[in-house]
Amino acid sequence: MDEVRRYNIERWDALVEANALFTRPLLNLDMESARERIDRDGRLGDVRGKDVLLLASGGGQQSAAFALLGANVTVVDLSNKQLERDAQVAAHYGVEMRLVQADMRDLSALDAAAYDLVYQPYSLNFVPDATVVFAQVSRVLRRGGMYYFMCANPFASGLTEASWNGEGYLLKEPYQQGQQIVYTDSDWVYDRSKYPDARPIQGPQEFRQTLSTLLNGLMERGFVPVHMKEIMADAADATAEPGTWEHFTAIVPPWFAFWTVLG
């Protein structure tokens, strides 16, 4: 087991124990809220009967939404504790889903050309080289299938609300592919006061994926980008106090989202 894999398993298992935001299963969805959860932009179309791979997507959130909408769901995640949350939502809603403990960089447990859609919420920056993941996705996705993923804005990787210096959010790190980024979890990730007995949680360890790596890596593996979006937090507010999460995310979009099709 390499260091990246070990670190990610330990961190996400600890986040589950602390009931962090992205580990909380969604147990109150209906059809409308399920669609809103996974497809605010209306780009996925009808997923009923579609074979959907949720990549590095444990936690019982996206899986609940896709299963309610009638998709045939496979969830891949490194953390068995995260996958337990998916098992919880499957039992709650009375749906079936396949749960696979695996690294996004090695999808050999999955058949080739087995999926109509690969959907990857924020996780691509947890590995040093996004193109390794793209190669895996291109093998398991059917021709004409869609690959959606969310990633860090590469020009702002490592910036947080704590980067405020009185005048702006200061960039200090070089713009390099694969550069390791270490920072502190924002307060909204988990409530430290409610889970004092949870194991200590290591801070985020991520890797910058430059824009050229993302775009060239996709196109060189047969993906055609069809849409891209900058994503701000729902709470973004340019009038909020500088140095807060609300102000930061209004000034610096933290995330990008890409919709691509395998040609």
**pLDDT tops 80 at residue 91:** yes
Whole-number pLDDT of residue 202 = 76
**pLDDT tops 70 at residue 194:** no
Within 8 A by CB and 6+ apart from 44, the residues are 38, 117, 146, 148
Whole-number pLDDT of residue 17 = 86
Q: Give the model confidence (pLDDT) of 213-240 as tens digits.
A: 999 999 999 999 999 999 999 999 999 9
- Residues 170-196, mean pLDDT to the nearest whole number: 78
- In degrees, rounded to 5, the angle at the alpha carbon of residue 177 between the alpha carbons of residues 55 and 80 is 25
Q: Which residue has the tokens 């990857």?
A: 120
Whole-number pLDDT of residue 77 = 97
Q: Provide the residue range defining the domain that includes 130.
A: 3-262
User: What CATH number does residue 61 fall under?
Assistant: 3.40.50.150
**pLDDT tops 60 at residue 211:** yes
**pLDDT tops 60 at residue 195:** no
pTM: 0.93
**pLDDT tops 60 at residue 254:** yes
Whole-number pLDDT of residue 19 = 84
Whole-number pLDDT of residue 11 = 87
Least confident of 136-150, 190-204, 218-232, 242-256: 190-204
- From the list 216, 197, 208, the residue with the least C-alpha distance to 174 is 208
Confidence of residue 204 (pLDDT cuts 50, 70, 90): confident
- Please state the domain count of the chain: 1
Q: Return d(Cα 256, Cα 239) in angstroms, integer.
A: 23
Q: Give the model confidence (pLDDT) of 7-20 as tens digits.
A: 899 888 988 888 88
